[in-house]
Structure formats: C-alpha cells, structure tokens
Amino acid sequence: MLEFLRGRDVLVAGWGVSGRSLIEPLRDIGARPVVTDGGAAALAEAAGLGLDIATCTELETADWSRFALVITSPGWRPDSPVLAAAVTEGTPVWGDVEFAWWVDQARIYGPVRKWLVVTGTNGKTTTTSMVHSILRAAGIASVACGNIGLPILDALRRNPGPQVLAVELSSFQLHWAPSVRPEAGVVLNVAEDHLDWHGGLDAYAAAKSRALYGRVGVVGLDDPVAASLARRSKARRTVGFRIGVPADGELGVVDGKLLDRAFTKAAILAEVGDISPKGPAGVADALAAAALTRAIDVAPQFVREGLIEHKVGPHRAAFVREVAGVEFIDDSKATNPHAARSSILGHPQVVWIAGGQLKGASVDDLVEEIADRLVAAVLIGADSPVIAAALARHAPEVPVVEVRAGDHAGMGDAGRDGVARADAVMAQAVRAAAGLARPGDVVLLAPAAASLDMFADYTHRGRSFAAAVAALEDGDIGRHL
C-alpha cells in the first residue's frame, strides 16, 4: 500500500507534534518529506533540521503532480486552502493516523498491532488510560497513544514494540482516517462540540462512528446519540454499556458491581468503589475500557486489577485539597457542557466555578438538570454572561458571582500580563467560591467551556485553580454566608 510513496515527495501539512512524528517513517519507506505550515517560526525550525519546506502561499501555484500524498495534521480543516487545492488537483489527503495505520499494516516496524480505539466528546483520555492500565495488569505489552499525547507512529517505532495500542482519537483524527479498522473501538458519547470544524452534529457524529468499523464496536447506551450509532456500526459485532442493569450483549452495573453480559454469560468485573474518578462518568469510562479489553479476551480478574490501579489524570475531576470540610475538585478538562454535566452529577452539593469560551454551545439544558445540586455558582471568562442568564432562567434561587478581569481591584502590573491576569481572576473566583461553601460541599472547577479566552490552555487553568486553593485558609470557608 505504501510502495507508491517510494522516491516521491510527500507534503506534511502542519509542523506540530504529529507532523514531526511523520518524518522518520516517511524516510524509512523511501519517501521525501516536504513540510508546510502557516507559521514562519515552524517552517524555520523544519528547515533548520534539513527538511525541504514550502509556504502555504507557494503551494497555491505549485505543480501538485510533484506530491504523491499530503499528510495533514488533524486540526487542519478540509476547506483549508492547501488541502482544498490538493483535492482539486487529485492528490490524496491522509491524516497522520491513516498513515500510521498503513505503516502498521505494512509491518514496517514489526508485527501488526491490535488497535483498541477510544473516541467520544468526553472521557476519551480517562478511558484510554484505563484500557492501558488493564492491559498492563494482564501483562500485555501496550502503550497509550494518539490524541492522549504520544503520536501513534512514535509508539510503533518503539523497540521492543507493543502488542496492543490503546488509541485515543478525536473526531478530527477520525475524519482523516477512513481506513482504520480497530480490533475494538468505542464511542463513549456524542454532544455538541467542534461543530464549526465539522459543519454540524451529523458530520461530527459520523466522524466518531468510524471507531465502529472494526471487529467489535462498543457504544455508550446512556447517551442517545452514541446509542444511535449502533445502527451505523460497520463492526462485525456491536455491544453496548450502560450505568444500569445490562441486558444480554451489554455491560452494566448491578448492586454496585460492574457486570459483563456481552463477552460471557455473566462475569463480575469490578466494584463501583474501585473506580477512579468517582461518579457516573468514571463508571461509564470503566465499563467502556472493560468492554474493549474483554473484546480481546482479557480475563475479568485483570480488568479489576487494572481499574483498581488506575488513577485519574491531572485536571480530570482530580481532588486538590480539603479545607474546613469543603473539598476542592479540579475538572478543568470539562471544556464543554456535556463534560461539566458528568462532573457535577458526581456530587450532591456543588459550588460551581464555570465559564470561558462556550464555542456556541447552549448551557440551558445543563443548568436545568443540575440546578438542584448547585449551592452557588462563580463565573469567569468571556461567556460568563451567557451562563449567568441560563442560571437566572432555570435556577434563579442559586447565588451567582461573576468575576470579571477588570473587576479585580489591585491587579496593578498583573493586568498587563495575560498569565498573571488570568491567575488573579482565578484566585478571586476560588476565594468567592470558598466563601459561599459550607462543610460537606464541593467546590468544583468544571468550566463547561474552553480556556483560551484567559488561559494558555486547560492545564494552565487547572494549575491556576490548584494554586488558588493552596492559598486558602480555614477562615475563608463560608465567610460570605
């Protein structure tokens, strides 16, 4: 399949992590990589490494017959000028995941691996980490890769190499990877996100459904859109999971135990109390991870051991600190309303810190559902007025504090420094939340929005929250009540 690349130029579109991972495999199969990127600094770095480069402007008038293939970074939209020109000229466009799939199938770096693919709007990284933990417990050489951070090509090039890949894939990556046929793949859930990139929810869901093209497809039955994808599944077998009593062909929960009725008559896999993170979202992710690993015959005892060993990653419903009987939880990774919903439903009494960039998503359904759990809400970021309006409509009795960047008295020089300015706003928000909390409450950072209006990324937002929590004293709790 890759022979057509030998001795030919291949355009690498995007000099990011995935772009860098392409260079050595392309050279290993005898192709000549040429790098393009919209940033001058990125092109300069690539040129400094001895790579051929081409600016996006140069490619507008390029002779496309020069290129056998374009391999795009996942973030590049299909209508971007370079990719649109390639398609118009008849040059095939692959994503880095598609290329990695064919590199693996061609056995460039050893025997073909089993791919266990995880996608969904929320819970991808947690589920992928759980899969990897279960595989380790079973003694199976594996690696977590893909959207979780390590490029798949870098995982394939490891020596000794893994037998199984726990692959987290975004909708962008799946859009550009039509050939991937995983040993098992799961769609956890599907909610409004990245609709501007895909052009609508149907196209977004269709991209997610490509995880269901392999031997076993798994869908989250508690999510209506994910459950509907079972009808689109091209897998040889499709099973589901639910946080409830499972039917035949499903995994679920009975009397506080995770139960497999899909790959055996009935097998207990773990206790709900074994699962980290706590709450319904964590249990759903554990069921998904169990389904993928049971699909390749991992024994129930290793599923349990792996789930017990798994610890939640940073900024994903991570416990930060308890102050005077109030727990502070960092779920900065909850960058859309669907993720925030799962986080909030894990706690009965919540002081909610929310806000940022909603990216056009509605929060009305979320606020209406969680209203009875909210002790108070503290709002930050560009779209805080939108969330405040939803709270006024659906939870008018909930106290709301909006912290604006310009409202922070004494910000001084920090106001001219974006990082310090954001940290100062977060510190004020945390103090306000602490002042509205009583012992037994949870102060939960689950923004329901992206972070880039104020912070470098969601990890910066989470670190800022943790630093503000570390500065609290017992006397800060409940002082506004």
Q: Residues marked as binding for ATP?
A: 120-126
Tokens of 324: 């005077």
Q: Which residue has the tokens 């799962």?
A: 342
Which is nearest to 461 in space by CA: 311, 281, 314?
Answer: 314
Task: Output the CA–CA distances (angstroms, integers) from residue 459 to 256, 318, 320, 329, 356, in the order listed.
Answer: 33, 12, 14, 14, 14
Burial of 290 (0-12, 13-18, 19+ CB in 10 A): buried
Q: 333: which 2 tokens? A: 């990774």
> End-to-end alpha-carbon separation of the chain, Å?
67
Which residues line the annotated binding site?
120-126
Distance CA 290, CA 239 (A): 12
Q: What is the number of alpha carbons within 13 Å of residue 293 lying toward its C-beta?
A: 33
Matching residue, tokens 């308890």: 322
| Other Cβ atoms within 10 Å of 224 Cβ, number | 10
Report in angstroms the alpha-carbon separations of 22 from 3, 153, 428.
Answer: 16, 7, 44
How many angstroms separate the Cα of 234 from the Cα of each of 187, 271, 323? 13, 32, 50
| Nearest of 344, 346, 365 to residue 354 by alpha carbon | 344
